[in-house]
Amino acid sequence: MPKLVDHEERRAHIIDALLRSAASSGLHSVTMRSVAVEAGVSVRLVQYYFDTKEQLLLAAMARLTTRMGERVQQRVRASGAATDPRGIIEAVLLEAVPTDEESRAFHLIHTEYAVLSVTDPALGGQPFLAAPNEMEAFLAARLAAAQQAGDADPRLDPCQEAVVLLAVSAGLGLSVLLGQRTADEATGILRYHLGRLLPG
Amino acid sequence: MPKLVDHEERRAHIIDALLRSAASSGLHSVTMRSVAVEAGVSVRLVQYYFDTKEQLLLAAMARLTTRMGERVQQRVRASGAATDPRGIIEAVLLEAVPTDEESRAFHLIHTEYAVLSVTDPALGGQPFLAAPNEMEAFLAARLAAAQQAGDADPRLDPCQEAVVLLAVSAGLGLSVLLGQRTADEATGILRYHLGRLLPG
DNA sequence: CTTTTGATGGTATGGTTGTACCACAAAAAC
DNA sequence: GTTTTTGTGGTACAACCATACCATCAAAAG
């Protein structure tokens, strides 16, 4: 072996170039060439580390979902470990509204992937369903706990409310992406709704 | 003039071909050729009635939003004119969840357009903001009326609840599109949430 | 009847894209 | 020191796309 180069690091470098390019001009406009230029390498190298464009896109999607998971966990941890359920729930949901530029890019690309996966069978929609389903169960459990602690109306259905929570956060996030609302407005709405669910 | 052909009718025919093609293989994969084939005409004709592809896409988007507006109005009318606010609100919101195949196609293409318009300045995002803003005001007014009629908790804020309602319906609709939930499940969730808002 | 004009088909063209192929350098293996 | 092997560059190629251009036919206008 000649140059002893870390494959994973190079792959990450190229994928980040793709994500940067997709964030500014859309996932539909990324090409092998544009990614290569953005990464500062030759097209041949992109071919070398990801044989085909499809594999490149799949790898980028995997990296994206990984990073989003990390962001959620980090935000939950930052909001104080094992504190009140309200804080944790709020942290999870607020991650869906794009505030900083990085999160905006993440959500834009993620949404483009998701919509694309509806018609493109090569992308396989599973990754977009696993995470929300996990979140749903997580939120439902937290709501049930809050009910038993007397912090929430015992008449409401934790499972359905969890779905509503995720739907409203997704809907608000999308509206921010489309420019209908500012991130602050969306945050306010989410807090309002959460306040109606978990008073105090 | 030779063949005395109705331009608008031909344009509609071609646009419908585009929508059909986009519904099955995605908006990103529509090309002048595929539209021509689907419409059963020559590529030259597509050029003739829509000079450029961009104009074709814009016309299709216009027709799409028009149709969606018609669907909402029709649904509201079908749910009984001037009946209880609950029925009208439910009708408006349920239109966002894709039930039949036609509505699924509409929402898929509409979402693709919306996401595309974020990065593609040629599509101009305004059409995607006008309709939701109208809906928001409409729903807020209905909620306020329900409050004064004593059908809703007077403590809740009609404006913020209207935003929440639209967000949850959009989020649920998207989740149905992505295959995370069936249309029936989404409908049930929406009815549940509406039941908490407007008991009775 | 002639001429103009709207509607249509076919094809050429310039550009772009994904990918395959060829070449080469340099470090490791032997 | 020779021979692999691995990373890298450049380039060629076939497909496809949007669009421009040329030709034609038939109906209306004169």
| pLDDT-derived band at A200, boundaries 50, 70, 90 | confident
Q: For residue B86, is pLDDT > 80?
A: yes
Write out the residues of chain A at the interface with chain B, using a CB-CB cutoff of 8 A.
24-26, 28-29, 108, 111-112, 114-120, 125, 128-129, 132-133, 156-157, 160, 163-164, 166-172, 174-175, 177-181, 188-189, 192-193, 196
A–B CB contacts, 8 A cutoff, strictly below:
121
DSSP state of A118: H
Question: pLDDT tens, B160-185?
Answer: 999 999 999 999 999 999 999 999 99
Q: For residue B4, is pLDDT > 80?
A: no
| pLDDT-derived band at B5, boundaries 50, 70, 90 | confident
CA B94 from centroid of its chain's CA atoms: 11
- B55: number of Cβ within 10 Å: 11
Instruction: Say whether the CB atom of B184 is under 7 angstroms from strand D.
Output: no
Contacts of residue A126, defined as CB under 8 A and 6 or more positions apart, other chains included, come to none
CA A84-A88-A90 angle, to 5 degrees, is 115
| pLDDT-derived band at B82, boundaries 50, 70, 90 | low
pLDDT of residue A134: 93
Mutation for testing the A interface, residue in B65, B108, B175 having most A CBs under 10 Å:
B175
A-chain CB neighbours of B107 within 8 Å are none
**Amino acid in the structure at residue A126:** Q
Residue B154 CB-density burial (10 A; 0-12 exposed, 13-18 middle, 19+ buried) = exposed
| pLDDT-derived band at A85, boundaries 50, 70, 90 | confident
Question: pLDDT tens, A109-125?
Answer: 999 999 999 999 888 77
d(CA B23, CA B176): 15
**3-state SS string for chain B:** CCCCCCHHHHHHHHHHHHHHHHHHHCHHHCCHHHHHHHHCCCHHHHHHHCCCHHHHHHHHHHHHHHHHHHHHHHHHHHCCCCCCHHHHHHHHHHCCCCCCHHHHHHHHHHHHHHHHHHHCHHHCCHHHHHHHHHHHHHHHHHHHHHHHCCCCCCCCCHHHHHHHHHHHHHHHHHHHHCCCCCHHHHHHHHHHHHHHHCCC
Tokens standing for residue B102: 């036609």
Instruction: Say whether the CB atom of A4 is under 7 angstroms from strand C.
Output: yes
pLDDT of residue A1: 53
Q: Return mean pLDDT, chain B.
A: 93
From A80-89, A178-187, B69-78, B105-114, the region with the lowest mean pLDDT: A80-89
Instruction: Say whether the CB atom of B28 is under 7 angstroms from strand D.
Output: no
Contacts of residue A130, defined as CB under 8 A and 6 or more positions apart, other chains included, come to none
Q: For residue A171, is pLDDT > 60?
A: yes
Helix axes A158-177, A183-197, angle to 10 degrees: 170
Q: Hey, which of A3-7, A50-54, A79-83, B84-88 has the most confident mean pLDDT? A: A50-54
d(CA B183, CA B189): 10
CB contact under 8 A, B171 and A175: no
Tokens standing for residue B24: 């099955």
Question: pLDDT tens, B87-139?
Answer: 899 999 999 999 999 999 999 999 999 999 999 988 877 778 889 999 999 99
pLDDT of residue A196: 95
- Structural Rg of chain B based on CA atoms: 20
pLDDT of residue B1: 54
- Of A123, A126, A5, A120, whose CA–CA distance to B26 is shortest? A120
CA A183 from centroid of its chain's CA atoms: 15
pLDDT of residue B165: 98
Q: Return mean pLDDT, chain A.
A: 93
Tokens standing for residue A41: 């390498």
B-chain CB neighbours of A192 within 8 Å are 157, 160, 164
Residue A189: what are its φ and ψ, rounded to 5°?
-60, -45
Q: Which of the two residues, A190 and B126, has the higher pLDDT score?
A: A190
Provide mean pLDDT across the span A50-73: 94
Compute the nearest-CA separation of B7 from chain A (Å).
Answer: 31
Question: pLDDT tens, B137-156?
Answer: 999 999 999 999 999 999 99
pLDDT of residue A119: 95
Half-sphere exposure of A113 (CA within 13 A, CB side): 27
SS3 percent helix, strand, coil of chain A, rounded to 5, is 75, 0, 25
Mutation for testing the A interface, residue in B31, B160, B176 having most A CBs under 10 Å:
B160
Q: What is the end-to-end Cα distance of chain B in Å, rounded? A: 63
Provide mean pLDDT across the span B20-36: 97
Instruction: Say whether the CB atom of B48 is under 7 angstroms from strand C.
Output: yes
- Of B124, B121, B134, whose CA–CA distance to B62 is shortest? B124
Contacts of residue A9, defined as CB under 8 A and 6 or more positions apart, other chains included, come to none
Q: Which of residues 26-45 of B touch strand C (CB under 7 A)?
A: 41-45
Sign of CA dihedral B172, B176, B180, B181: positive
d(CA A88, CA A142): 9
Sign of CA dihedral A80, A82, A85, A89: positive
Q: What percent of chain A has pLDDT over 70?
A: 96
Residue B45: what are its φ and ψ, rounded to 5°?
-70, -40
